């Protein structure tokens, strides 16, 4: 089952909760969030329906103007619930929210980070598996600049003005290095933090043996004649 990015919402977090709807059980809730870098306004927690999310990582841009952070929560509550962002001084923080289906909720993969000052924002990440979703939180400092997608990368959402955040991804096709890349309307300090979310394994029918994901049947024979064994219930 391929990983899908669902119900993308762009918003701005302050002291008020954000209502967000998770439409499937067994999913992963992800939040890409940006902060104007100051020593007293770090994000201290994000909760969804009262459950704490995990910060996969964060990275400051080249000039400490903005910080990109990526948070996730496995098996979040379904339905509409409040997402609450808490920071040192309740600063306004642009964010993009989504939930992933088809992802492995027990094994989060590789991470990577990058920063620079240019109109091209790119991070190289080496996944642990093919079929993974390589998800990046991008931040761009200064006012009025916007993100655009580059061929091969999907831009899911973007939010903010003075500090701009974006969520973008690429599916891995091998365990070689992959680049998640965006462009901006003008050059400036930027940073990105990326995380690999692995594809959930597909379980075959109970009792069926497989070799390289191919079902193998075991057939008994008597004097060269195949004999099928069939169980019945109530006839």
pLDDT at res. 224: 55
Higher pLDDT, 61 or 77: 77
CA distance 30 to 48: 11
Domain-by-domain residue ranges, the chain? Answer: 4-199
Q: Identify the bridge partners of residue 58 per DSSP, sorted by sequence position.
A: 69
Non-local (6+) Cβ contacts of 227 within 8 A are 219, 220, 221
Mean local confidence (pLDDT), 13-21? 91
Least confident of 51-55, 114-118, 123-127, 198-202: 198-202
Mean local confidence (pLDDT), 19-33? 98
pLDDT of 206 higher than 90: no
pLDDT of 209 higher than 90: no
CA distance 63 to 33: 18
Q: In which residue are the tokens 């974006």 written? A: 166
pLDDT of 84 higher than 60: yes
- 8-state DSSP, 203: P
Q: What is the pTM of this model?
A: 0.84
Higher pLDDT, 184 or 230: 184
CA distance 20 to 77: 11
pLDDT of 65 higher than 90: no
Mean local confidence (pLDDT), 22-43? 86
CA distances from residue 221 to 197, 227, 228 in whole angstroms, order as listed: 46, 5, 9
The helix or strand, by DSSP H or E, that contains position 184, with its residue range, turns out to be: strand 178-199
Mean local confidence (pLDDT), 145-160? 94
* SS3 state at 227: strand
CA distance 53 to 68: 16
* SS3 state at 65: coil
Going by pLDDT thresholds of 50, 70 and 90, the confidence category of residue 142 is low
pLDDT at res. 38: 59
- 8-state DSSP, 152: T
Give the residue from 114, 101, 92 showing the smallest Cα distance to 16.
Answer: 92
């Amino acid at each position: 089952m391929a990983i899908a990015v669902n119900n993308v919402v762009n918003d701005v977090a302050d002291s008020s909760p954000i209502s967000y709807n998770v439409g499937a059980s067994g999913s992963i809730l992800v939040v890409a969030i940006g902060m104007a870098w100051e020593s007293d306004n770090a994000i201290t927690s994000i909760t969804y329906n009262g459950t704490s999310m995990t910060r996969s990582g964060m990275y400051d841009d080249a000039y400490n103007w903005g910080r990109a952070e990526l948070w996730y929560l496995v098996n979040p509550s379904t339905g509409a619930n409040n997402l609450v962002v808490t920071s040192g001084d309740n600063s306004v923080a642009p964010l993009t929210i989504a939930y992933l289906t088809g992802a492995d909720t027990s094994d989060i993969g590789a991470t990577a980070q990058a920063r620079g000052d240019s109109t091209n924002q790119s991070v190289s990440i080496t996944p642990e598996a093919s079929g993974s979703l390589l998800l990046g939180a991008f931040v761009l400092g200064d006012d009025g600049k916007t993100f655009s997608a580059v061929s091969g990368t999907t831009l899911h959402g973007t939010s903010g003005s003075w500090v701009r955040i974006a969520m973008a991804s690429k599916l891995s096709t091998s365990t070689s290095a992959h680049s998640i890349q965006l462009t901006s309307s003008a050059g400036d300090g930027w940073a990105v933090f990326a995380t690999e979310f692995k594809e959930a394994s597909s379980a075959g029918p109970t009792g069926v043996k497989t070799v390289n994901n191919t079902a193998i049947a075991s057939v008994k024979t008597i004097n060269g004649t195949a004999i099928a064994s069939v169980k019945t219930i109530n006839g």
